Amino acid sequence: MYKYPVAVEVEELPVGVPLREYPHAGKRYVAGCMGVSYQLRLKNHSHRRLLAVCTVDGLSVMDGQPGDMQGSGYVIPACGSLVIPGWRLSQNRVAQFVFQDKAQSYAVQTSRGADVGVIGVAAFFEETIRALTWVSSWSWRPYTVSPYPPSSVTGTSDSLTNLCCTTSSPGTEPSTSIYTVTAQQMADAEAAGMLTPTQTLGTGFGPSVDHRVTDTSFRRPSAPAAVLTLYYDTRDNLRARGILVDAPAAESAPRAFPADRQYCAPPAGWPG
Protein backbone atom coordinates (compact mmCIF):
# COMPACT_ATOMS: atom_id res chain seq x y z
CA MET A 1 0.00 0.00 0.00
CA TYR A 2 1.52 3.31 -1.07
CA LYS A 3 1.31 6.42 1.10
CA TYR A 4 0.74 8.69 -1.91
CA PRO A 5 -0.88 8.00 -5.30
CA VAL A 6 2.17 9.40 -7.09
CA ALA A 7 5.92 9.14 -6.53
CA VAL A 8 8.74 11.29 -7.90
CA GLU A 9 12.38 10.32 -8.35
CA VAL A 10 15.36 12.37 -9.51
CA GLU A 11 17.46 10.33 -11.95
CA GLU A 12 21.03 11.32 -12.75
CA LEU A 13 21.90 11.21 -16.45
CA PRO A 14 23.13 9.71 -18.69
CA VAL A 15 22.72 6.42 -16.77
CA GLY A 16 19.32 7.23 -15.24
CA VAL A 17 20.20 6.07 -11.72
CA PRO A 18 17.83 7.46 -9.05
CA LEU A 19 19.52 9.76 -6.56
CA ARG A 20 19.39 8.55 -2.99
CA GLU A 21 16.86 10.39 -0.83
CA TYR A 22 17.70 11.58 2.68
CA PRO A 23 14.83 12.20 5.13
CA HIS A 24 15.47 15.06 7.53
CA ALA A 25 13.16 17.10 9.77
CA GLY A 26 10.07 15.94 7.92
CA LYS A 27 11.48 16.75 4.47
CA ARG A 28 13.20 14.74 1.74
CA TYR A 29 16.52 15.78 0.19
CA VAL A 30 18.74 14.63 -2.67
CA ALA A 31 22.35 15.61 -3.32
CA GLY A 32 23.08 16.95 -6.80
CA CYS A 33 26.42 17.37 -8.57
CA MET A 34 27.36 20.56 -10.38
CA GLY A 35 27.15 20.22 -14.16
CA VAL A 36 25.20 16.93 -14.15
CA SER A 37 21.92 16.64 -16.07
CA TYR A 38 18.93 14.94 -14.51
CA GLN A 39 15.35 13.94 -15.21
CA LEU A 40 12.23 13.45 -13.11
CA ARG A 41 10.46 10.10 -13.14
CA LEU A 42 6.83 10.16 -11.98
CA LYS A 43 4.98 6.96 -11.07
CA ASN A 44 1.21 6.65 -10.78
CA HIS A 45 0.44 4.04 -8.11
CA SER A 46 -3.33 4.31 -8.57
CA HIS A 47 -5.80 2.69 -10.94
CA ARG A 48 -7.00 6.06 -12.25
CA ARG A 49 -5.61 8.60 -14.68
CA LEU A 50 -3.66 11.29 -12.89
CA LEU A 51 -2.57 14.83 -13.80
CA ALA A 52 0.84 15.85 -12.44
CA VAL A 53 1.56 19.58 -12.26
CA CYS A 54 5.32 19.89 -11.76
CA THR A 55 7.61 22.72 -10.70
CA VAL A 56 11.38 23.06 -10.34
CA ASP A 57 12.79 25.95 -8.31
CA GLY A 58 9.25 27.30 -8.00
CA LEU A 59 8.73 27.51 -11.77
CA SER A 60 6.39 25.43 -13.92
CA VAL A 61 8.25 22.94 -16.10
CA MET A 62 5.60 23.55 -18.79
CA ASP A 63 5.83 27.32 -19.34
CA GLY A 64 8.55 28.60 -16.98
CA GLN A 65 6.10 30.78 -15.05
CA PRO A 66 5.76 30.82 -11.24
CA GLY A 67 4.26 27.52 -10.09
CA ASP A 68 0.47 27.34 -9.89
CA MET A 69 -1.41 24.18 -8.94
CA GLN A 70 -4.05 25.06 -11.53
CA GLY A 71 -1.44 25.20 -14.30
CA SER A 72 -0.92 22.64 -17.05
CA GLY A 73 0.89 19.37 -16.49
CA TYR A 74 1.41 15.79 -17.62
CA VAL A 75 -1.28 13.10 -17.63
CA ILE A 76 -0.07 9.71 -16.36
CA PRO A 77 -2.12 6.58 -17.19
CA ALA A 78 -3.34 4.30 -14.44
CA CYS A 79 -0.45 2.32 -12.91
CA GLY A 80 1.87 4.01 -15.40
CA SER A 81 4.90 6.25 -15.30
CA LEU A 82 6.57 8.98 -17.34
CA VAL A 83 9.85 10.85 -17.55
CA ILE A 84 10.21 14.64 -17.56
CA PRO A 85 13.70 15.45 -18.86
CA GLY A 86 13.54 19.25 -18.87
CA TRP A 87 11.85 22.61 -19.38
CA ARG A 88 9.28 22.38 -22.17
CA LEU A 89 10.12 24.35 -25.31
CA SER A 90 7.45 22.92 -27.62
CA GLN A 91 5.45 19.73 -28.09
CA ASN A 92 8.60 18.12 -29.48
CA ARG A 93 11.53 19.56 -27.49
CA VAL A 94 12.64 20.35 -23.94
CA ALA A 95 15.71 22.05 -22.45
CA GLN A 96 17.37 19.52 -20.16
CA PHE A 97 17.43 19.94 -16.40
CA VAL A 98 21.04 20.41 -15.29
CA PHE A 99 22.44 21.06 -11.83
CA GLN A 100 24.30 24.38 -11.93
CA ASP A 101 25.49 27.10 -9.61
CA LYS A 102 22.49 28.95 -8.22
CA ALA A 103 23.53 32.14 -10.01
CA GLN A 104 23.33 30.27 -13.34
CA SER A 105 19.96 28.64 -12.64
CA TYR A 106 16.99 29.33 -14.90
CA ALA A 107 15.08 30.89 -12.00
CA VAL A 108 17.82 33.36 -11.09
CA GLN A 109 18.58 34.15 -14.72
CA THR A 110 14.93 35.16 -15.15
CA SER A 111 14.88 37.18 -11.89
CA ARG A 112 12.72 34.68 -10.00
CA GLY A 113 15.23 33.01 -7.72
CA ALA A 114 13.36 33.08 -4.40
CA ASP A 115 12.52 29.34 -4.47
CA VAL A 116 15.66 27.69 -5.84
CA GLY A 117 16.32 24.20 -4.47
CA VAL A 118 12.93 22.49 -4.49
CA ILE A 119 10.97 20.20 -6.81
CA GLY A 120 7.19 20.06 -6.47
CA VAL A 121 4.44 17.79 -7.80
CA ALA A 122 0.70 18.39 -7.36
CA ALA A 123 -1.27 15.27 -8.34
CA PHE A 124 -4.93 15.38 -9.40
CA PHE A 125 -7.20 12.39 -9.93
CA GLU A 126 -9.47 12.68 -12.93
CA GLU A 127 -13.11 13.37 -12.13
CA THR A 128 -15.50 10.85 -13.64
CA ILE A 129 -19.26 10.47 -13.94
CA ARG A 130 -20.04 7.78 -11.40
CA ALA A 131 -23.81 7.23 -11.70
CA LEU A 132 -27.16 8.31 -13.17
CA THR A 133 -30.11 9.51 -11.13
CA TRP A 134 -33.73 9.08 -12.12
CA VAL A 135 -35.52 12.41 -12.72
CA SER A 136 -38.73 11.57 -14.60
CA SER A 137 -40.00 9.19 -17.22
CA TRP A 138 -37.45 8.62 -19.95
CA SER A 139 -35.02 11.23 -18.70
CA TRP A 140 -31.71 10.84 -16.88
CA ARG A 141 -29.47 13.32 -15.16
CA PRO A 142 -25.74 12.54 -14.75
CA TYR A 143 -23.90 13.71 -11.69
CA THR A 144 -20.30 13.64 -10.54
CA VAL A 145 -19.28 12.15 -7.24
CA SER A 146 -16.34 13.99 -5.70
CA PRO A 147 -13.67 11.69 -4.21
CA TYR A 148 -12.64 14.41 -1.79
CA PRO A 149 -14.22 14.98 1.65
CA PRO A 150 -15.37 18.48 2.59
CA SER A 151 -12.73 20.67 4.15
CA SER A 152 -12.37 20.39 7.90
CA VAL A 153 -10.99 23.94 8.17
CA THR A 154 -13.45 26.37 9.73
CA GLY A 155 -13.58 30.14 9.71
CA THR A 156 -13.37 32.73 6.97
CA SER A 157 -10.31 33.23 4.82
CA ASP A 158 -9.66 36.57 6.54
CA SER A 159 -9.65 34.97 9.99
CA LEU A 160 -7.19 32.33 8.80
CA THR A 161 -4.77 34.58 6.95
CA ASN A 162 -4.60 37.30 9.59
CA LEU A 163 -3.14 35.06 12.31
CA CYS A 164 0.17 36.32 13.71
CA CYS A 165 2.61 35.48 16.50
CA THR A 166 2.72 37.95 19.38
CA THR A 167 3.92 38.03 22.97
CA SER A 168 1.85 39.44 25.80
CA SER A 169 1.35 39.36 29.54
CA PRO A 170 -2.00 39.09 31.33
CA GLY A 171 -3.79 42.43 31.33
CA THR A 172 -1.49 44.00 28.72
CA GLU A 173 -1.79 44.59 25.02
CA PRO A 174 -0.01 42.07 22.76
CA SER A 175 3.30 43.30 21.43
CA THR A 176 5.78 41.95 18.94
CA SER A 177 9.28 41.20 20.27
CA ILE A 178 12.24 42.52 18.23
CA TYR A 179 15.65 40.95 18.50
CA THR A 180 18.97 42.27 17.18
CA VAL A 181 21.99 40.14 16.38
CA THR A 182 25.49 41.55 16.04
CA ALA A 183 27.86 40.63 13.22
CA GLN A 184 30.11 38.84 15.72
CA GLN A 185 27.18 36.74 16.98
CA MET A 186 26.33 35.79 13.39
CA ALA A 187 29.95 34.80 12.74
CA ASP A 188 30.10 32.74 15.94
CA ALA A 189 26.83 30.98 15.07
CA GLU A 190 28.04 30.19 11.56
CA ALA A 191 31.33 28.82 12.89
CA ALA A 192 29.39 26.61 15.31
CA GLY A 193 27.22 25.26 12.48
CA MET A 194 24.08 26.85 13.89
CA LEU A 195 23.05 28.65 10.68
CA THR A 196 21.47 27.06 7.63
CA PRO A 197 23.97 27.23 4.76
CA THR A 198 23.09 29.33 1.73
CA GLN A 199 21.65 27.38 -1.19
CA THR A 200 24.40 26.94 -3.79
CA LEU A 201 22.81 24.56 -6.32
CA GLY A 202 20.08 25.37 -8.83
CA THR A 203 18.62 23.95 -12.04
CA GLY A 204 19.81 25.44 -15.30
CA PHE A 205 18.41 25.60 -18.83
CA GLY A 206 20.36 22.80 -20.53
CA PRO A 207 20.69 21.62 -24.14
CA SER A 208 17.59 21.02 -26.23
CA VAL A 209 16.57 17.35 -26.58
CA ASP A 210 13.66 15.44 -28.11
CA HIS A 211 10.63 14.83 -25.91
CA ARG A 212 7.34 14.54 -27.79
CA VAL A 213 3.91 15.05 -26.22
CA THR A 214 0.35 15.50 -27.46
CA ASP A 215 -2.64 17.38 -26.07
CA THR A 216 -5.38 15.51 -24.23
CA SER A 217 -8.49 16.30 -22.22
CA PHE A 218 -8.67 15.89 -18.44
CA ARG A 219 -11.41 16.64 -15.92
CA ARG A 220 -9.48 18.27 -13.08
CA PRO A 221 -10.99 18.55 -9.57
CA SER A 222 -10.57 21.72 -7.55
CA ALA A 223 -8.08 20.23 -5.07
CA PRO A 224 -5.09 17.92 -5.60
CA ALA A 225 -5.04 14.40 -4.18
CA ALA A 226 -1.44 14.87 -3.05
CA VAL A 227 1.33 17.47 -3.09
CA LEU A 228 4.93 16.24 -2.95
CA THR A 229 8.06 18.32 -2.37
CA LEU A 230 11.65 17.19 -2.78
CA TYR A 231 14.57 19.46 -1.84
CA TYR A 232 18.08 19.38 -3.28
CA ASP A 233 21.50 20.96 -2.81
CA THR A 234 25.15 19.99 -2.92
CA ARG A 235 26.35 17.16 -0.70
CA ASP A 236 28.47 19.59 1.35
CA ASN A 237 25.50 21.84 2.02
CA LEU A 238 23.27 18.93 3.00
CA ARG A 239 25.97 17.77 5.39
CA ALA A 240 26.13 21.27 6.87
CA ARG A 241 22.37 21.11 7.49
CA GLY A 242 22.93 18.06 9.65
CA ILE A 243 21.76 15.54 7.04
CA LEU A 244 23.56 12.20 7.25
CA VAL A 245 24.66 11.99 3.62
CA ASP A 246 27.66 9.84 4.55
CA ALA A 247 25.68 7.23 6.45
CA PRO A 248 25.45 3.81 4.77
CA ALA A 249 22.21 2.97 3.04
CA ALA A 250 19.65 1.07 5.07
CA GLU A 251 19.99 -2.68 4.94
CA SER A 252 17.61 -4.54 2.67
CA ALA A 253 14.57 -6.25 4.14
CA PRO A 254 14.92 -9.85 5.38
CA ARG A 255 14.55 -12.45 2.62
CA ALA A 256 11.78 -15.01 2.88
CA PHE A 257 13.77 -17.51 0.71
CA PRO A 258 17.46 -16.69 1.24
CA ALA A 259 18.66 -19.85 -0.55
CA ASP A 260 16.57 -19.21 -3.67
CA ARG A 261 18.54 -19.01 -6.94
CA GLN A 262 17.41 -18.06 -10.41
CA TYR A 263 19.77 -20.41 -12.26
CA CYS A 264 21.84 -23.54 -11.64
CA ALA A 265 25.26 -23.13 -10.00
CA PRO A 266 28.03 -24.83 -12.00
CA PRO A 267 30.14 -27.49 -10.19
CA ALA A 268 33.72 -26.88 -9.16
CA GLY A 269 36.18 -27.22 -12.03
CA TRP A 270 33.53 -26.79 -14.73
CA PRO A 271 35.38 -25.72 -17.90
CA GLY A 272 32.51 -23.54 -19.09
pLDDT in tens, 26-53: 999 999 999 999 999 999 999 999 999 9
Q: Pick from 206, 205, 38, 57: which is nearest to 120 by CA?
A: 57
Tell me what pLDDT residue 31 has: 96
Rounded Cα distance, 100 and 200, in Å? 9
Tell me what pLDDT residue 245 has: 86
Rounded Cα distance, 123 and 80, in Å? 14
- 119-132 average pLDDT score: 83
Rounded Cα distance, 84 and 63, in Å? 14
Residue 18's beta-bridge partner residues?
11
